Structure 1
């Protein structure tokens, strides 16, 4: 069963048209933000609203079917950040220049690593957004 257009519209509104992981706004991203299954369907996740959030294609592609990751500090496996139930600012912070995402909890660090939130493309684009005064976003 596919996610209905009505549910997609609800998710977009709840997510305020921004990626739940890297916080990129729809109006700055080339391509439509995607509906992410927080628990992938491959692991029993559903198309129910409570399992869906918005993600940019970079984050969604890097996430794939991952549900956990290795925290590079503790070397422990941690559950990935859940943008529906967790507050971004409790797990992440922007670097001083506003171009990189820093994990401030084990969950945040694992998610930064697993989703490659500071990949070359993202950091390069964010640098331009900072120059334009569009970034970093506020909560």
Structure 2
């Protein structure tokens, strides 16, 4: 989390996201740790600190993403970009089945892989959130 993002801008990012992680959709209300404003395109890749390039993220997704923009799936040599919360609709790339986030596209698959969205603890947590009516 960058200290260079003004608090008012962080608040605007959180409100726009409905106080959910824009990658895994976990609600911030269920977290003991404050969510972060992530540069979708990191500053090292030329991304700017402006509303259109910021996403509200849980610490797990933000740490896993880092400054990455893409990944390679399997043994292919094709680079697949990650889900972009400002350009992509979450439900076009993902669906949730019994707590597991399933991909509908290569972008979804790449994002699930890189952000480790289906680690067992995250799936079990989602099952509880679904039962409580807090997810997706």
Query: In the aligned structure 1, how far is the partner of 2:100 from the partner of 2:121?
Result: 11
SS at match of 1:27: helix
The 5 Å alignment of 1:1-139 reads 2-72=4-74, 76-95=78-97, 97=98, 99-135=99-135, 137=136
Contact 1:92-1:102 within 8 A present in 2 as well = yes
SS at match of 1:90: helix
Query: In the aligned structure 1, how far is the partner of 2:75 from the partner of 2:119?
Result: 19
Q: Deviations over 1:108-134 (max 9, x none)?
A: 111110111111221121122233343
TM-superposed CA distance for 1:30, in Å, is 2.2
Q: Deviations over 1:96-115 (max 9, x none)?
A: x1x11111101111111011
Tell me how many residue pairs correspond in the alignment.
134
Structure 1 unmatched runs, 5+: none
Q: Deviations over 1:57-87 (max 9, x none)?
A: 0000110111001234966311110012210
Contact 2:47-2:53 within 8 A present in 1 as well = yes
Query: In the aligned structure 1, how far is the partner of 2:117 from the partner of 2:93?
Result: 13
RMSD: 1.8
Normalising by the residue count of structure 2, what TM-score does the alignment of the two structures yield? 0.90
Query: In the aligned structure 1, how far is the partner of 2:19 from the partner of 2:25?
Result: 9
Query: In the aligned structure 2, how far is the partner of 1:32 from the partner of 1:93?
Result: 25
Normalising by the residue count of structure 1, what TM-score does the alignment of the two structures yield? 0.88
TM-superposed CA distance for 1:8, in Å, is 0.9
Give the stretch that moved more between structures: 126-135 or 105-114. Answer: 126-135
Structure 2 unmatched runs, 5+: none
